[in-house]
Structure 1
Amino acid sequence: MRTLDSLILDQISGGADAGSLTTADTILVCDDPTGDLTAAACGSGRRVVVLDSDYSRCQRAISLGAQIAGDRRLDEFLAGSNGSAVAVGEMPKSLSRLDYLARSIAGAGFDTVTCVFGANNKHLARSMNETLATSFEEVSASRGRGKFRCLVATGPRNVTYEPAAGDGLVAVGGVFSGARADHGGELLRSALPAQLGRFLDLGCGNGSVSRGLDGDITATDSDADAVLSARAIGLSTTWDDAGSRFPAGTFDTIALNPPFHAGTTVDATLVSSLLDASARLLAPGGCLYLVHNSHLRYRPEVERRLGSVEQVARNQRYTVLRATAR
């Protein structure tokens, strides 16, 4: 178990009975990249509810016996709660995601609730304290352990959550780019053909690429915040892992604006599973339109999976490739 996860668990076990993780009735597991917080919570005998937005992590949580909020708004899912609760997780990278979690948990109706969110000291900022203080009366920092520390929030305020909105877009939680169209997505949108056929926005984010398009339009994302954001503007959107719910050869056109960062680090491997999915989901002769940062060399990876590839748009920062399925 990571030092960070161990520190978070130790924070909620203080004062509990010997051998008990916590005396709270419910453990809310928020952002849990390793799954260790979920596993420990499920082993405690308490009611465990996972609020993580990641599809694959939530499926693992179900297999351990946890409930999940899944692709439901957290504030609506938790409304009417009672008893005592503790919420644990890695500190979200996005203040918008932190605010969403804090408001949803504080406004849920629990009699008492404590939030414990941990991170590397260099990733903690005063703005995180301020965001938590909007939803909780008391916010303090734990004692550190190595490079890590937790922020602890108690005393829920009477708050509600409202997604951000603007420019025809809605941003639930920490969806990428918020309620704005990102520059790469806009270049991708401009390169799409007039006739889309059966169209999939793969990894749709806030839905900015496919908003307002005519035809047989489907969107999908593995992040529940993205799914809720896209649905809020009327897109038919599934929550799954790289379009895994769809049969092979389902789509004539796929648009892909993939993630390039894991946390704060550029990770060129993140696109691999989405390219594999594109190759599976395209009908013969169908086309993938992929936008990427121009300095990242994705063309060989696309060619290896799909064959014929050509550049159809480019600006100072981004490139759009079109690949035709064999």
Structure 2
Amino acid sequence: MRALDSLILSVASLDADVILVCDDPTGDLLSAALATGKPVLFLDGDYHRSMAARDAGARIAGDTRLDEFLAGSSGSAVAVGEMPKSLGRLDYLARSIAGAGYSSATLVLGANNKHLTRSTNAVLGESFTDVAASLGRGKFRCLVATEPRAVNYTPVESNGLVAVGGVFSGAKPDFGGELLRATLPAALGRFLDLGCGNGSVSRALTGDITATDSDADAVLSARALGLNCTWDDAGSQFPDASFDTIALNPPFHDGTTVDSTLVQHLLDAAARLLAPGGTLYLVHNSHLRYRGDVEKRFARVSQAARNDKFTVLRAS
């Protein structure tokens, strides 16, 4: 078990009526919660982790908004998790838990000391009366929030977009996504936005438009725009050769670390899902040089657009 997960579990008391597991990258917090025999609600929005939690016996929020999933709760609750990397996700979790209706609720979130700022305390303080830091262990510490306030959650709306929780780019168009959107042809046919994020690439497109993402916050944000969006693993629920045009604006950060390997799984999915004669449009930061990875999977690859930071590749 990671030192961080061990610290979170040592600070939190798992003797409440229900245990809420928030962001849980390793699954160790889930295992500890299930071992108590108490009801466990899994609030992590990651598709893979959620499926594993469901199979292990937890009730998952899945692609339901957290405030709606928890509404009308009663009894006592303790929530544990790794501190979200975005303040938007933190606010979403805190407001959803505080406003759920529990007679008492304690939220324990752990992180590296350098990632705990006045802003994290302030966000928690909007939903809980008492926010305090635990004793540190090595380079880690927890924030403990108690005494829920009477709050509710409202997604951020701006620029014609809706941001639920910690969706990438929030309620703002992503610069790379905007270049990708401008490069798409007028005739899309059956179109898939693969890894759609906040839906900024697909918004207002007309025709046979589908979006998908493995992050529940992204799915909910895209659906708020009226998009037909699925929550799954890289379009895994769709048959082979289902789409004529695929747009891909892949993640290239794992947290704060650049990780160009994150695109591999999505490229494999694009190759499987693209119909004969179809076209993939992929945008990436130019310095990451994804062209070689695309050429391994597609016979014809060309540069469709480029600006001072991003490149769009066309592949078929």
Normalising by structure 1, we get a TM-score of 0.96
Shift in Å at residue 9 of structure 1? 0.6
Offset of 1:276 from its aligned partner?
0.4
1:306 is displaced (CA, Å) by 1.4
Structure 2 Cα separation of the partners of residues 207 and 298 of structure 1: 23
Of the candidates 203, 206, 227, which is equivalent to residue 235 of structure 1? 227
1:40 CA drift (Å) = 1.2
What is the identity, as a one-letter code, of the residue corresponding to 2:281?
Y
Q: Deviations over 1:61-114 (max 9, x none)?
A: 011100000001100110000001000000001001000000000000000000
CA distance in 1, matches of 2:67, 2:299: 45
Distance in 1, Cα, partners of 2:110 & 2:189: 46
Structure 1: stretches of 5+ with no match in the other structure: 14-21
**Residue 173 (structure 1) aligns with:** 165
The Cα shift of 1:12 comes to 1.5
- Identify the residue that residue 293 of structure 2 maps to in structure 1: 301
Give the Cα–Cα distance (whole angstroms) in 2 for the partners of residues 62 and 70 of structure 1. Answer: 9
Shift of 1:284: 1.1
Q: What's the offset of the Cα at 1:193?
A: 0.6
1:154 and 2:146 matched: yes
Cα deviation digits, residues 213-263 of structure 1 (max 9, x gap): 111000000000000000001000000010001011100000000111000
Check if 1:323 corresponds to 2:315: yes
The match for 1:125 is 117
Any idea what the Cα deviations from partners look like across 1:103-131, whole Å, max 9, x if unmatched? 00000000000000000111111100000
Where does residue 252 of structure 2 map in the other structure? 260
User: What is the correspondence of 1:105-120 to structure 2 with a 5 Å cutoff?
Assistant: 105-120=97-112
**Equivalent in 79, 88, 95 of residue 87 of structure 1:** 79
Structure 1 segment 94-109 matched on structure 2, within 5 A: 94-109=86-101
Amino acid at match of 1:100: Y
**3-state SS of 1:286 partner:** strand
Alignment partners' CA distance in 2, 1:43 and 1:306: 47
Amino acid corresponding to residue 4 of structure 1 in structure 2: L
Aligned to 2:4: 4
Counterpart residue number, 1:17: none
Asked if 1:76 is matched to 2:76, the reply is no
The alignment partner of 2:230 has SS state of strand
Amino acid at match of 1:8: I
Give the alignment's TM-score, normalised by structure 2: 0.99
Percentage of matched positions with identical amino acids? 73
Residue 6 of structure 2 aligns to a residue whose secondary structure is helix
Alpha-carbon distance between aligned partners in 2 of 1:292 and 1:99, rounded to the nearest angstrom: 29
Q: Secondary structure at the match of 1:295?
A: helix
* Cα distance in structure 2, aligned partners of 1:35 and 1:200: 31
Alpha-carbon RMSD across the aligned residues, in angstroms, is 0.6
Equivalent residue for 1:16? Answer: none
Whole-Å Cα distance in 1 between the matches of residues 271 and 28 of structure 2? 33
Q: Which residue identity lines up with residue 111 of structure 1 in the other structure?
A: S
How far apart, CA to CA, are the structure 2 residues paired with 1:307 and 1:33?
A: 36
**What is the rounded CA distance, in whole Å, between the counterparts of 1:62 and 1:161 in structure 2?**
25
Letter of the 1:207 partner, please give it: G
The structural deviation recorded for 1:44 is 1.2
